[in-house]
Structure 1
Amino acid sequence: MSNKINKIIEELKSLTLLEAAELVKQIEEVFDVDASITGGGGMVMMPSENNESNVTPVEEKTQFDIVLEEVSASKKIAILKVVRSITSLGLKEAKELVESAPKIVKEGTSKEEADEIKNKLEEAGAKVSIK
């Protein structure tokens, strides 16, 4: 080995475990490689798959469903009122929806509207999820 490589090896031997981990992380970032891939018992450095050319944009979800997960018996009337105002259902249909939880209250809403509906239902005492 060359003198330069020997010096680097000696420096590496003097590193603490934390310093060595930081060095590996820095090498991965600078050279765009993944040091966690191993083969044949030794460390193999392969180009990571985080190249900008390989990154496919993930489409952000734009439509959400509000699911009424759970209704406590003591809060049923308050929740029923909120469900009626959200869905424009009649009293009988809204009551059936509330009593058959878990059930979708509203489908295909925007994120803002879904959050608003969730807050209203939770204020009334319901357990709600957005999917």
Structure 2
Amino acid sequence: MKLATLYRLARGPPVVCQKNNLLQYRCFQPDFVPRDPKSKPKKYKYPDVYEPYGPRAPPSDKIVQLAEKIAALPLEERVKIGPTLHLKVSHPKLVPLDVEGVDTGGARGGSAKAEVKKAEKTTFDIKLEKFEAGAKLKVIKEIRSFTDLGLKEAKDLVEKVPVIVKQQVTKDEANSIIEKIKAVGGVAVME
């Protein structure tokens, strides 16, 4: 313990120490002094223009003259340079990608209206529209046959007409249920 105290006194500048346990000390010096006090920090000279692929050779005089001629052209003629150059050097024509289900924001160049394809509906809901007064009991029994409802729940459901009695069924299943309800005196539709 006495050695640590002597070490702190001999070190000189004020030091913040943390005592972790009996034999460990962590010392932090508030101001860092470099080894050579006369040394100056190195200055980095930034390049004038950022070149991601390294330095390039300067363009030839021909290229500089061509760039000057292009810059001197009016805007209408400058717009035509790209397509003409593509034809001259036999570049393939750029074709817009056709990505299904992604809105490209009218990139095809045609009309602004997007083609809307309606997805064919695969699941349907069955809605009980009405039923004959004398066929109420038969309709309740039929509703119970294709749902997991008890007698009271089926009765409450039938009394709330018009009401959806079954959801998310296929077209074939929906048609068979509608026919069964129609046979007992009710009117149901597919939505």
Matching of residue 76 in structure 1 with residue 136 in structure 2: yes
Q: Deviations over 1:37-93 (max 9, x none)?
A: xxxxxxxxxxxx9xxxx8654310011000000022100111111000011200000
The higher-RCO structure (CA 8 Å, 6+ apart) is 1
TM-score (norm 1): 0.56
2-structure distance, mates of 1:72, 1:104 = 17
Question: Which of the two has greater helix per residue?
Answer: 1
Q: 2:182 aligns with which of 122, 125, 129?
A: 122
User: What stretches of structure 2 of length at least 5 have no aligned partner?
Assistant: 1-110
Count, aligned residues: 79
2-structure distance, mates of 1:67, 1:56 = 28
Percent identity between the two aligned chains = 43
Aligned Cα root-mean-square deviation (Å): 1.5
Larger Rg: 2
SS where residue 95 of structure 1 aligns?
A: helix
Tell me by how many angstroms 1:124 deviates.
Answer: 0.8
Q: Trace 1:15-26 onto structure 2 (pairs within 5 A).
A: none
2-structure distance, mates of 1:55, 1:72 = 45
SS where residue 69 of structure 1 aligns?
A: strand
Q: Trace 1:28-107 onto structure 2 (pairs within 5 A).
A: 56-107=116-167
Runs of 4+ in 1 over 2 A off after TM superposition: 54-58
Partner AA of 2:144 in structure 1:
R
TM-score (norm 2): 0.39
